[in-house]
Structure 1
Amino acid sequence: MYKWPSETAAFCGGLWERLAGTSGVDVVICPPYTSLAEAVRPFDRTDVAVYAQNVHWAEEGAFTGEISTRMLLDLGVDGSLVGHSERRQHFGESDETVARRTVAALEAGLRVIACVGESEEEREAGQTELVLRVQVETLADAVGAHEHLAVAYEPVWAIGTGKTATPEQAQEAHAFIRSLLDVPLLYGGSVKPENADELLAQPDVDGALVGGASLDVESFAAICEAAARIRS
């Protein structure tokens, strides 16, 4: 819950200037609903995509506080996050509702980044693969390896904590996810310029879902440049 519209407009302008000349990487920004229009406007007809942070499965109806696929499409939004760890933790998002949101978004023509990941307690109990299997197979059963679907692995214990999975831990989790669903895989969990190169160099890490480091133009651009270097 960061950046009101005027801040978003300034951020987008700065990011566009900063990324001039950077190629070979897909850049996506996910501002809050109130700032989507401010983000869509400067990036119209560019390679930078704009996603919402969440989307509902119904086209319309009595779902106060939710946003439909049609509303996003009318704004010119390209896609949406679904099932972010904070949505699961604070708003009761389940594997089933994540799948419903994903199906609706993809059927409407939006792209989706669906998030999965285990808690610290689940990792310490040796349940990482069990948790990931349930989450990923629920998605796979609903939509399969859809061409507009990407999955972000977010170890919950590394979200907003300053902790980061080691490159080896990230690779192990991503390889397991890919064995269940072969789509582009992003790592999310305290990604920053200092660790981006090593994380993105892993064979099954296709990109990053950047959190706090994406709030600053310089740090986010540095991560984008790291991805471009790895992919070149």
Structure 2
Amino acid sequence: MSVLPDLPTEDTGPHWPEIRAWLQAYPQILLDDRSLLEEVGLKPHGRNVVEFGRAALTRLEEVAEREADARKRIESIARANFAAQTQTHVAALDLLEARNLSDLARRLDAVAQGRFGLSGAAVALEKPGPVPFGWRALDEDRVDGLLGEHGLTWLGPNFDGLNLFGASEDQVRSVALIRMAPQFPGAETTARPALCAFGSPEEDGFTATMGCELVAFIARVVERTAERWPLLG
């Protein structure tokens, strides 16, 4: 019958390297002491099998919760993007059904409010030359002044003097401006500088860090649809 060696004892108490070496030499003693295992948070399952209990389970649950939260955020963003794309496509179909330039401007404002929850939308055309009823007239070179000589878009807070949204102007806190250059049939010039403008009632509705693919797509639909009809003087 073998006799187990005593753990080394000194005035300073046993040191962990010595305890660890002793446990490695006699592991079955620990495995057979169920009460001790439970006290340190371990749960035995048969011979030579130990389940890491509450502490390990808590860590695993925390990891699972973080992964679930991240997955929910990704799914939420994906659903929002899909909904926005669907509304954009439906809005494009509404615009394509316009009967004339004035109806096109009216439909743009209606889909901006009804489908995207915006304060409104407008189309604006630089002078000189006729401006369709329902479109906003801009002074010459005004588009370059707003977007820069080579700028295509501008997203950010509304500013004094824009005056594109009529009765809704006071509600607009941020805007998206998209450059257009429609070429109207029979016009003397090849293209007229123009803007497609969207106004949001929220200050962060449009910001410089946002992507503008959806509003730019709507602007392109407006531009191409407007080229169906000639400008009447």
TM-score (norm 2): 0.26
Q: Considering fraction of residues, name the structure with more helix.
A: 1
